[in-house]
A = this chain, B = another copy of it.
Amino acid sequence: MILTLSCPDQRGIVAKVSAFLYERGCNILDAQQFDDQETGQFFMRVVFDADGADRAALRGDFGTLADGLKMKWTLRDRAERYRVLLLASKFDHCLADLVYRWRIGELPMDITGVVSNHPAQTYAHIDLKDLPFHHLPVTKETKFEQEAELWKLIQETKTDIVVLARYMQVLSDGLSAKLQGRCINIHHSFLPGFKGAKPYHQAHARGVKLIGASAHYVTGDLDEGPIIEQDVERISHRDTPEDLVRKGRDIERRVLARALRYRLEDRVLLNGRKTVVFTD
């Protein structure tokens, strides 16, 4: 099982948590922790083997311990896969990549569906055949209704995590708030360098020697949410804006896939405007 927790720091947290698990016959397989000395918050992720333990009792008892320490916490059986909804637009390289990784077992999740503002035939060359597809077109006028539909879909499908796989639409503040900590976006630029439209063209005009991408949690401010993962690639004066877009696709898909995998494995903990990512 995977336990994550965060709470105000104080003496004995590790001792209490590890004693709790030990007394219930659980064996810790991996544990990482972080003590943010600036904010006084403590973060921990524990992977443990709970074969002998009564899961319901474990959860109930831990709740009592957690309340005493003012913890935010999650406890999940690794066999229970997260349910993930993928939102895409006409640029489908991230969508194709995530679906491929899912099929070969690299991303342990259940895909609850694919949502796009473009019709299904846009993705004819990606194998989506056993996945529910939802065409939810959106315009400025219909955004409110479309988001309502989207939210209904998220609820009906019991979706845990929403991935904006180059969705190209800004979620409203209201919907963003509902999805706090469970909606991941890929920003096609090394944040916070080039905001706004066509960041690769901006990067080209500026003559930068590196371009990058950022995966982050969605908040009201589209490109300013807590960053989960970033990467860059070297470019040169020979690269046209189109070359940057091509190289950018490679960075975007690997950054988004990494960020999603971290999230699926409960490695990402929110720390205010930042994240704690317990990487492997």
- The answer to the question of A196 belonging to the interface, with a C-beta cut-off of 8 Å to chain B, is no
| A148 lies within 8 A of chain B by Cβ | no
Whether, in the assembled complex, A122 has its beta carbon less than 8 Å from a beta carbon of chain B, the answer is no
Considering the chains assembled together, what is the distance between the CA atoms of A96 and B75 in angstroms? 36
Counting chain A residues whose Cβ lies within 8 A of the other chain, the interface size class is 35 or more
Among candidates B11, B33, B210, B228, residue contacting A31 with C-beta atoms closer than 8 Å: B33
Among the 9-residue stretches A21-29, A112-120, A137-145, A154-162, the one with 4 or more Cβ atoms under 8 Å from chain B is A21-29
Q: Find chain B residues with CB under 8 A from A240 CB.
A: 37
Interface residues of A (CB under 8 A from B): 11-16, 18-19, 21-22, 25-37, 93, 96, 100, 103-104, 106, 124-127, 190-194, 205-210, 212, 214, 226-232, 234, 236-240, 243, 246, 249-250, 254, 271, 273-277, 279-280
Contact B15 A273 (CB under 8 A): no
Q: Which residues of B contact A103 (CB under 8 A)?
A: 125
Specify which of B25, B93, B279 is in contact with A11 (CB 8 Å cutoff): B25
20 contacts between A and B (CB under 8 A): A11-B25, A12-B18, A15-B21, A15-B22, A19-B19, A30-B33, A31-B33, A190-B193, A191-B208, A193-B193, A205-B273, A206-B273, A207-B226, A207-B271, A209-B230, A209-B277, A210-B230, A232-B232, A234-B234, A236-B280
